[in-house]
Each structure stands twice: as C-alpha cells, then as structure tokens.
Structure 1
C-alpha cells in the first residue's frame, strides 16, 4: 500500500486531530497548581469532587510505588504529606488510561505494549531525575508517562496507514522522520500540542516534543528533555546504547555503566504499578542484534566502561586540595585509562608568559625539565620555525608535535619523553592563560586520538580547577593588600608614639655606659641593647609603608657570626624566665666579613626565631645555621644562606603552600598571620628568597638566601 503525503500544513494537521479532554476536575487541578500561591485545602476540595479519582489517588499514594511511611486515609492528608505537584501527577496518572481508552485506535494498535512503554519510561524518568538532582522527579514521571501519547492519537486519527508505518520501522529513531514524510506531522508534535491544550507546563511540552531530537552544535536541550530522551532510549533499546545516550547520561552526571542497573530495578516495579493503576501491559518482543550491531555494541560497552572510570578521576581532580594533587590525579587517570605513564603540562606563566613544564612530585619528566629550567618563550611557540602555520596555543583541536619539525626548540621534550612524537591536548585556564597537556604518543598508536573526547573532558576539568586556584591566589593577594593597608594605618600611629620613648631610652643607656665602675660584661650587654634599639628606631621609620619596596639600600660591612650571635643572645635572655626553650647557634667557619643590609637581615632572622618560639610553646629546641655561597658556586651573586629550625608540631599540609600569605597562621589567641608575610616581603625587597621544608628528623626548617657582596658598592666606597 502506498502512503501519500498530505499537502496540509502542520497547523492544519494538528487542528484536524481530535484531542481527548481532561475531566473538569483535572483541568481545575492543573490550573490551581500553576498558581504561584497554591492553597492546599483548595487542592483537596477539588480532587474530592470526584470520588472515583480520590479513591484511585489514595490507592496509588498508599502503594509501594510511593513508599510512604504511613497510610493516607483521606485526600487532605495525601495533599499535605505528598505535596501539590505529586498529587497533581498522581491524579493525571490514574486518569490518563481511562481518558484514552474511551475511544482507542484501530485493533492493530497494541495498547498493552504502548502502555508498557509509557509506564516503563515514566518509572525510569523518575529514577534518573532523582539521581541527577532534578528538583521535581514527579514531573519527570508524569512527562515520561505522557511522552508518547502522540502515537496513540496519530494511530486513532490515521488508522491502518499509521500502523503500517510503525510496522515498517526497524529503528525507532527513524520513526519521526518517516511520520513527517508520510503525514507532515510527528507524534512528538502531537504530544506537545496535547499537553499545551491541557494547560500543562511549557517545560513538559518541550520535553515531549524533543524526546527523539539529537543534539546539534546550535541546539540547547533542557534537563527534563534530556531525562525523557534518555529514559525513552533505555526502554526501547534495553541492551543497546548509542553515542547520544552516553552523552545524555554524562551531562546528567549518571555513570553510563549504571544505566542497565536502573533498567533492571524499574522492571521489578513495573508490573506492580500497572496493576495498581489498573492498566494491562505486555512487554514487546526484542529483535536479535545483527553481527554489525553486536560489534558496535561491544565498542560502546568499552566506551561506557572507560567513561565510568573517568567519573572517578574527574571527581578526584575537582576535589584535589592542592595543585600538586590536581597534577597527580590527572597523571593517575592517564595511566589508568590509556596506560600512559609519560605526560606533563605545558602552561603559560602569568608573569612572563613563557610556557613552563608542570607535573606532580612523582613525575620524573617534569622534575628533569624543571631542573634544567626548560621553558618556551611565547614568541617562539610555533610547531615549525619556518612555516609558522600552527601555534602551540590557541588551537581548539589536538595537535601532534613531531621531531621532524624544523626547530630545535622541542628537542629537550623529545629527549625527556624518549619519543619522536607527542600528542598535545589544549587546556584553557582563563581567557589570558592557556596550555597543553603533552602525552607520549608511540609511533602508529592512535588510541588516544580515538579517545579525544575523554582527553578533552580531562583537560576541561584540569583547566577549570587551575582557574579556581588562580582566582584563589588573586583573592588572597587582594585580601593581603587590604590587611597590610589596615596594618599600615596602625603602624604609622605606633611609629609616631614610640619614637620619643625610644630616644629617651637610648640616651639613658648612653649615660649608663659612660658611668664609672661598669664591668666589661655589662658594657657589652648595654652595647648590644643600644644597637638593637637603633634597629628598632630604624624599623619604626619603615612602619609607615609596609606595602611598597624601600627606596635606597644601604649596606654595611658585617661580621655575620657576631650579628647572628647578638640576636640569638637577646632571645635567650628574653625567654630564660618564661620557658625551657634552647636556642643554639654554632658560628660558621671561614665566613668573611660581608657587605649586606643589616636591618632587614636581622628583622627576617628575628621574625623567624619568634615564629619558632611561638610554635614550640614552653619547651623545645631552635637551631640557627648559616653558610656562605660565593658567587661562582651558585649564580652571579653571592649568598648568605641561613636556616632556622625547630622541633615543634610543624606546618599543617593544608596551609603548606600558602604559609607566606597574609592571614595564614596555625596560632591561636588572635594572631593576625602577618609575621611570615612580612618576612616574605622583606626577602623579596632585597632580591632574596625564602622557603620552608621538613628535615629528616621531622624538624620544621625555614631557609632564606640573603644576597651579599665581599666588596663595598661604589656608594659605600664614596662614603668611606
């Protein structure tokens, strides 16, 4: 029989189809539920107008399907405990079969298979909605129940012609196109029109309309539409999943590997629900898969399995507490999913813009290249120096780095990876910061290229996680500036208030030092106190501006062992009566007199010793060590390296990477957490560096490198 294409428009076709009407009670109920302020008593009164409907709702509300903790004896209790939307959904559920059964389609249309599919889709939709965190699983159930009502109406309107069309379709996804070819209308269009005529939510109608649509680059699919589309696929293809199914499950945050479990669980409930509603159902016969379909299914099952594993790794990346844990989670995922144990990140530095190697502490390749200080200048980031046709950054798709490229820029990479080709997966951290995930790609190995979507998902999560760290860093810097600005205001006031008492104390010490009868020890003690008071006076002058670097730098010829010894001696005297803390300093041998900025040096040393004292409490040991590194042994500048260690509780891992930020402290009693932040600032001001570590015996070590010279500057020579 040949099916002729009608010339009628979609609107003409819709208007020609007779739509079933909801009972007046249900129409009133739908209208009441759409009101922003719903009166629960009015809902109960409306439903109770129809005794048969009330009885069915209570029967369903007390069934295992709802799983209520107590039995409902009247509709008022049901409305209060179940909620307005659930009662509305139940009312339509128990009535819809009766509404359609009054004037059914042709005898060839299998009602029992039809309702089997509708009820099954409703149950699975509700379960998916719950797992996906959708705010109204009952709405998903109702939409799933009504999603194929358009088929029922088309079968009733076109009769045998429509049934013939259905019988010819081996693939349910082709049905919509064939419906439009034959009748210029699809069951999806009719279903939406029906729900609109019942004054149902627009979201319900859109989900019914879109439940066979495939995603396109320009389409936007809402959550309910994805839920219904996924549920519909699972009920029609219980053992076969396609790419769209996997994508919908991924977007709804449901592991594709759990889909079969969802189907099996709802199958056990389906029969009981149908009996409760009084709807006869029959499971459709399933066709055997062809050899080609079976092969395709095996490929998709492997993809589902890898996706299931991927979820765990993506969760690890999102939940990682530190950047190092982000790198480690990424490397573990690459090793597990692709058996790839050679990978690094090539990320833009925020300051210079160079491309620098990043990786976890376990990453041998990253460590090797970092030790060599390997970076790629931004202006040289081309794959080929001669062609300059493809940049490392800014590409949307994966790129291949080959040793055949006419540039020596990447030779250290190929040597470290011991490979002639590398796969680069773009990572976007922010509009101003990008990078690449570099993987070892063996010759002829296209496995990772086939898994491009998984690699891009990993890179997306890593990029988002790194961007979060960037925002945290920017916030911390802004917060630190605000705190230091507030401290500055207080510091200016303090500096002004203490300047006069300091001068008076210094004058009295000078008088004491000049009195007769002073022994040598007392004179030395007074001399140390006087020098420290002079340093306090100098510091008080700097308190006016903690946030900017000092102007002129004045160095002086200093005996390092003597300077450190004086500071240690003062601390030993000051804590002698309060605790049993030992502060040990063994003078270093063979350190010449050095030219350095003595005030910031003593301030850094004093703050670090104070920090150790606070960490120890009443007892413990502090050790101070130093050694001199001549210029030819490390860099263009000579350095004095000083380490302050203590056997206190140590630095918690949670703040180990941020210990030098303002506001970060492990101390109580109102500590502002500015001590180490000031130390860090002072160190940077004199072009030094500072870091903390843990010793072999568990001691906490703070080490600072202080730039020094063995010769005076031209300014000091002029002054002397």
Structure 2
C-alpha cells in the first residue's frame, strides 16, 4: 500500500522525500480512494495463485519489515532527527526486493526466501543461484518509485559489511543498524558494531529503542486482535482444492474493488480530460505501473493523438505525438486493429518495434511498453500505453483478465458517443449566455481544492476525535464546504433546458447479479435461501 501511494505521489514530483509527502497524497486521493486501494491490496494475497502452494512465511516478512522501520525511525530521532521519516520508509521497504524476486522466480527463489536471514552468506547464495540479490532488486524498485535517493541507497547497502557501511552517509548506517538489531539480541551486544560504524550511542539507549519498538508493534497488532507470537507461528493460510470456492469469492471481491477504484472520480459530469486523468491514476495503482499515457482515437485523422494531463511533467511532449492507425505502423495501432493487448518485448506477438514505438517508450522512461486497446460497442476509443520493465511482464500477464476488465470499463467511461456527456442546448430565452468551456474550467478548479479541504478535515477530525468541541466545529466547517458544490452546480444546470432523456434500467438484472454474488459468500453460510 505504501509503494502504491508513493508511485502515485511520485508521478508529478521528482522525489518522495518524506512521510509528510505521502500523507499529503493520501489527503489528495481521499479516504474513499485509499479504502478501495486497501481493499484491492487485501484481496491480492488470497486471489494470487502463487500463494496457494508456498511455505514462505509472509507474516514473518511483514513483521520484520515493520519492526525494522520502527527501530530505524527511533535511531534517526537520536542520530539524524531531520531524516526520521526517510528512515522509517527505508526500514519498511528494505527487503521489498525479496517480494519481486519471489514473484518472478518462485521456483528458484523460494528456498532462498525461506532461509534468508541476517547472515552475510544470504546475498552470496542469491547471487550464485539467480545472478542478483534482493538488495539490488529492492534498490531498483525504490529508485523507480522516485523515492529520496538516500532511501534507495539504504535499501541497496543494508547487507554490506560493517567496515564498508562505516564509510556511508548516516541514513545507510541507521537502516543497517536497525536490520541488525532485529536479528541480533540486545543493544548492549552491539557496542563493537557501533564503534566500527563510528556511531556514538549508549547501549542503554539502544535497549530502550528496542523496548519501545516492541511496545509499538505489539500495540499495532493488538488493534487487529493479534499477538506477535500468533502472527509469527504460521504463514499465510494455504489453499487446498476444497478452497476453490473461497478463491472464487475472493477473486470476485478483487474484481469488485478494482471496479470501485476505477469508477471513483469518473462521474459523468466530469469532463473528458478529468476522466482520462483519474482512469490513468487508477490504472497505475491497480497494476503498479509508474508511467502510462492515453492516446484517444481521432477518426477524422484516423490516428491516435496524444493529449497531456496535469499529472504529466510539462517536459513530456505527448501533445506532439500522433500515431497513424495503419497496418504495421506502430504497436498502439496494431493493438487497436487486432482488438488485443500487445507488448514491445514480443511475448504476445512477434511484431517488430518501430522508431515511433521506441520514441514513446523513451517518453515513458522504461524498457518497454504494454499497449491496451479501449473499444466500446465496436467503436475505437483509444489505447493505453503502459511503461514497464521486462521483469514486470509476468506479473501483468497473471492479471490479464483484470487488464481486459479494466480496459472494458475505461472504454465505456471514455466513450464520448455513448451518452456520457450531456448534450448542450440553447440558453434559456431571456437568460444569460454562458461560455460553457469557461464554466466547466471554473467548476473543475473550484472542486479540486474543495475536495482536498474535505479530505484534510477528515484527517484532522480523526486526530482530535477525543476533543468534542473541536470535532463539532470541524463538522460545521465540513457542512458549509459541502454546500459549495451544490451552489456551483446550479450554474451548470441553468445552462441546459432539460436533464436529457430517461434511461431504461432493468432492476431484475441488478438483483440477479447481487444475489449471485451474495449466495456463496454470505447466504449459504448463514443458511438463508433466496427465491
């Protein structure tokens, strides 16, 4: 979840420098979006076939990561107060390379994952077996998240020798010590290590830091009715053949949370540019893609034409890109004409990459790209070009159904001819003539900061939950803020004579879908029959 938020936050900023930046992104995304992202992440482990037959203890992995983050932050507060946030992020993500290697090289890496520990021989075993190690893999991931460069460095060097780390900058030393303390006894046992690293911190202080970290993690676990002993005793529950129905339910749950995330912020009243921006952001969150472009199809030119959004750096000349939809001209055109996903690595087809494709890939700043066609009711809507490195392809291939589902939803939402936009009519007789585009821009510019203010009020309300007088005042402010969009909406409504034609809605189809969804997961278990 942290990495997904960092990826979104880093999309328009060169460096994710602190937890404050992540918290700001959480506020901008809003609690509903974060909730949907969290639900999607929650379903991933249980709907991922890779996890069905594994003895790897991911609970232990998570617990170690969290504990290392807490210890690193406490050490930084003593040694490098200005970088306490960076220390926490680096500690949390220091072993994330193990997840990448396990996901892509499960058969070869799982024995190493299960045996990995603080021993320096662990890196040698990884290098000998697969030609790389989790430190290098993690460094690449964190660096591509546009994290602070010293955070990525701390991930890269956390298994180096104490003598080598002694020459590093402080954040690398802090994460190295935190990782060591997670594995090796009391702080009083590490005096020689501190001297080697040139760190002046009393043994008593180290012991206090460890005790505080233990208390903090115990409190977190208590919030979800767990203890460290119970968490570390067993790995994630393994799936047997008889759990196929449960897997199906969780797969549906994952699809539903993905749909909810896709539909969030894409209401019909939003203009096309806004819908494109939010759909691209949802795509990046769902599929862990750092960069993606949407090329709408323009029938008058028979071409895919690039359109920049606010989330793209101004240095990206996407607005200058026009890809003709001709046979063999470029991969985005091929994916549209064939109605199928195409990649630049040649896994899905053997088409040659053209110069135009290479130029788009360079704009994405990745090794290659995945092209996803958006087609609705036989109409070409456009193409999403996702920038990916080659190791990402197997992970995306595992989610092919979800990719196709997302493409179908996105095409529906972006189809301008499908009744999404309300057709303008003449101004009311005797009324004021509005500049429609200017009005839309004003509404958009007002709603953006209002949304951020509302989200910050929600966060602030949680922080002062025990102060009733302040909570009431926040509620009053929120109530007044929520009135503003309604007032602005009156301007938009006065622009049109009517609300458009009514739609025919088959409520029985909706009821049938809901009953099918609920039967296996809820009704059968409660012995309730639905006729």
Fold match by TM threshold 0.5: no
Structure holding more helix per residue: 2
* TM superposition score normalised by structure 2: 0.36
Return the index of the structure with the highest Cα Rg: 1
Structure holding more strand per residue: 1
